[in-house]
A and B are shown apart, each in its own frame.
Chain A
Amino acid sequence: MTIEKRSSAFEYAPAPESRAVVDIAPSYGLFIDGEFTEAAEGRVFKTVSPSTEEVLSEVAQAGEADVERAVKAARKAFEKWSALPGAERAKYLFRIARIIQERSRELAVLETLDNGKPIKETRDADLPLVAAHFFYYAGWADKLGHAGFGANPKPLGVAGQVIPWNFPLLMLAWKIAPALATGNTVVLKPAETTPLSALFFADICRQAGLPKGVVNILPGYGDTGAALIAHPDVNKVAFTGSTAVGKEIARTVAGTRKKVTLELGGKGANIVFDDAPIDQAVEGIVTGIFFNQGQVCCAGSRLLVQESIQEELLDSLKRRLSTLRLGDPLDKNTDIGAINSAEQLARITSLVEAGEAEGAERWSPACELPSSGYWFAPTLFTNVTQAHTIARDEIFGPVLSVLTFRTPDEAVAKANNTQYGLSAGIWTEKGSRILAVAGKLRAGVIWSNTFNKFDPTSPFGGYKESGFGREGGRHGLEAYLDV
């Protein structure tokens, strides 16, 4: 069967989600001390929809003076917020969780517009996880003495938090929920390409009646984040993003008392053994690298397939990729949305070119890309060696590098042959092999016979240069407590 015939067999009528559910204002300010305010220097930047390049809104860009104001507000709010009984802090967080649930469709559409990811994902993954994260940490606020960090663990103070654009609201939830539950106040900088959901979250804080200054949102670029992290009155730094920036942050906080947690890059190995259930493994591989267009730090971007089933698996995988629907992120049937920015698209393109130049074999299904916006077709590379750039560098896009192995030992050695250590996948029907391989992989999250599953109760974070500290679960509290 040809690709054309197959794709026509799967043609769907357009099923766009309505934009009417969200009302995006033409401009937004910074959110400091409970008020939306202009930036001191009056600077603004535009945020665009990556799928159309349409300007969605104009957002105030925080500078050093704004960082100063926000940290001051957070410091002032800390005194009362940290002294509030845990049960009261909990109720604020429960309120926030509930309001997020109420407004989840609006936020899902907003996130899809600003980020470019499919509505299927924002609706079914991002938003449910955001609400669940607040609900989970809300419950901890009055139970911290039972968390294993002593009878009466103390908050750190003001947390400076910098988050990426791949899961804007979810990363906000991962940062803000545990910080507030433990009695800290926060100044958060969303990514410059996806500031809107954080600003909508500011409105949710107001609806929830959260005291002023407990949450402050400062949209801006890297320099805003750097100023926040370097601010002497910030007690805690939490960052999710690239390993290069993570290292810079580690240098910045050296010699201070600031507590740091870093969630950085990855080059996750998805290992498929010869006895794996092929159909499920193919679904797992697709989820692993094409979820969120592969713009996921824990993506399974290296497929390690046992040599004896390579052909069968790749045939199945290619058939499956030919059925993925790329296009309008607001369409409920869309599997692959837009790449988040022109800059990220350029990075993916250049790494893919390096892959070809170094001799790996490139394949993509027949796939028409929209004429405007930032798009990249699902891509896989075969004939990849461990020395290839595309087997070593994090691409952060819908690009899978396929390597092979013969023995479990070789699979483990190849999987661990990376500076990163965030995630890995294991596909086999043999339980003892799962446990043996899982034990030897140097990675913080191991998905066996599944991939890219997340839950607020499940600690997430990396080994080696994927960063340190954990987010989620009881473990996630430690990052915000004086222990």
Chain B
Amino acid sequence: MSDPRVDTRPDARLSVFKTYKLYVGGKFPRSESGRVYEVSDAKGKWLANAPLSSRKDARDAVVAARKAFGGWSGATAYNRGQILYRVAEMLEGRKEQFVREVADAEGLSKPKATAQVDAAIDRWVWYAGWTDKIAQVVGGGNPVAGPYFNLSSPEPTGVVVVLAPQESSFLGLVSVLAPVIATGNTAIVIASEKSPLPALSLGEVLTTSDVPGGVVNILSGRTAEIAPSLAAHQDVNAIDLAGAGADDGLAKELEIAAADNLKRVLRPQTVDNAEWFATPGIERMTAFLETKTVWHPTGSLGASGSSY
């Protein structure tokens, strides 16, 4: 596939390259380390220089994600649903760009890349519809043997680190990110190491979709460099190891680090690229939900005095 940025005609206009940047706290910073790394397409041709995130970038992302958690988890589920739907709307309008980036990244034909992006857009729509339904599906009243009202409700776990799948640079990424934020968590995504550009571009879509700054933070760089400090970070509540799938040693190391503050860990599952197209279950949402159960006495009418 031709690279649109390289036009060799003598009279051609010189195109404007995009500087790919991180997405942290709603802003687009470079890595504080000043480092970048070369990103190539599937054939090895240079595409761009992506930020090579440092551990400090990762810590900044945790601060941003924590700051955003109260507002995002406190937003109504309807509101979150509309914002996720808005992401789909914005993506639809920028589909061509994402098709190009996915095609380059994964070495796909245009129709195959289009299918990936279409599925990713539809996935945002799917999760947009879940925001105000998951609580009814996994929560509910409990018929305790006593005069008590007793209700269990799901609540977001908190700040979730997501190691995006290494191979499926966009559909895989959306498939692991959307369920995390649909339920009110905030996320720090480590993009596919070799194909980070679709993920970095997603930040531009999120920021124009009313997703509050800090709800999603996107880092590019070496997974094995950034992930350990996030897995050990005391203000991170959970970690999805999807992107450590091919590296058993790394996955184990991260799970051990995560035990320090008992993060919820979603272990890597073997998902081949085709499987990302399947309609997901609710497991990627429930993995990052807590159950809160509230009791209150029901009292009795007609009894004298207090009803407790």
Per-residue CB contact flags for chain B residues 139-156 toward chain A (1 = under 8 Å, else 0) read: 010111110101010000
Query: Is the CB of A446 closer than 8 A to any CB of chain B?
Result: yes
Which residues on the B side are within 8 Å of A453 (C-beta)? 144, 146, 148, 295
Q: Is the CB of A464 within 8 A of B146?
A: no
What is the CA–CA distance of A453 and B150 in the complex, to the nearest angstrom? 10
- The answer to the question of A183 belonging to the interface, with a C-beta cut-off of 8 Å to chain B, is no
Instruction: Please tell me if A165 contacts chain B, counting CB pairs below 8 Å.
Output: no
Which chain A residues border B21 with CB–CB below 8 Å? none
User: Could you mark each residue 114-154 of chain B with 1 if its beta carbon is under 8 Å from any beta carbon of chain A, else 0?
Assistant: 00000000000000000000000110101111101010100
Segment from B26-34, B93-101, B216-224, B255-263 that makes contact with A:
B255-263
Distance between A448 CB and nearest chain B CB, rounded to angstroms: 5
Question: Total interface residues on A, using CB and 8 Å?
Answer: 43
Residues of B within 8 Å of A251, CB to CB, are: 256, 259
Q: State which residues 148-172 of B face A: CB under 8 Å.
A: 148, 150, 152, 157
Query: Which 4 pairs across A and B sit closest by C-beta, in order of nearness?
Result: A255-B252, A250-B259, A254-B255, A455-B144
Q: Which residue of B lies closest to A247 (CB)?
A: B259
Is B296's CB under 8 angstroms from A448's CB?
A: yes
The B interface is mostly helix, strand or loop, or mixed, namely mixed
Q: Which residues of A contact B297 (CB under 8 A)?
A: 449-450
B134 to chain A, nearest CB (A): 11
Binary CB contact string for chain B from 274 to 308 against chain A (1 if under 8 A, 0 otherwise) = 00000000010000001111111100000000101
Give the nearest-CB partner of A452 in chain B: B295
- Contacts A148-B137, A243-B262; A255 near B295 (Cβ below 8 A): no
Since A250-B259, A419-B261 are in contact, a sample of 14 more A-B pairs with Cβ atoms closer than 8 Å, ordered by chain A residue number, is A255-B256, A257-B267, A262-B262, A434-B296, A438-B292, A446-B292, A448-B294, A448-B296, A455-B144, A458-B144, A463-B290, A464-B237, A468-B264, A470-B291
Contact B308 A277 (CB under 8 A): yes
Complex Cα distance A434/B306, Å? 17
> Could you say which of B142, B237, B264, B267 contacts A473, with CB atoms under 8 Å apart?
B142
Residue of B nearest to A254 (CB): B255
A8-45 contacts to B (CB < 8 Å): none
- Kindly list chain B residues whose C-beta atoms are within 8 Å of the C-beta of A450: 148, 295-297, 308
Q: Flag whether A457 is at the interface (Cβ < 8 A).
A: yes
B11: which A residues are within 8 A, CB to CB? none
Size band of the B side of the interface? Answer: 35 or more
Residues on A lying within 8 angstroms of B by beta carbon are 132, 148, 243, 246-248, 250-251, 254-255, 257, 262, 264, 277, 280, 419, 434, 438, 443-450, 453, 455, 457-461, 463-465, 467-468, 470, 473-475, 483
Inter-chain contacts of B293 with A (CB < 8 A)? 444-446, 458-460
Contact of A255 among B251, B260, B283 (CB under 8 A): B251
**How many angstroms from the CA of A458 to the CA of B143 in the assembled complex?**
8
User: Is there contact, CB below 8 Å, between A455 and B146?
Assistant: yes
Collect the chain B residues with CB atoms within 8 Å of residue A475's CB: 138, 152, 291
A247 touches B262 (CB 8 A): yes
Expressed in whole angstroms, the Cα–Cα distance for A284 and B145 within the complex equals 19
In angstroms, how far is the closest chain A Cβ from the Cβ of B223? 17
Rounded to whole angstroms, the CA-CA distance of A455 and B143 in the bound complex is 9
CB of A431, distance to nearest CB on chain B (Å): 9
Chain A residues within an 8 Å CB radius of B292: 438, 443-446, 463
Knowing A148-B137, A446-B293 are in contact, say whether A264-B148 is a contact too (CB < 8 A): no
A343 to B263, CA, bound (A): 30
> Chain B nearest CB: distance from A244 CB in Å?
11
Contact B142 A255 (CB under 8 A): no
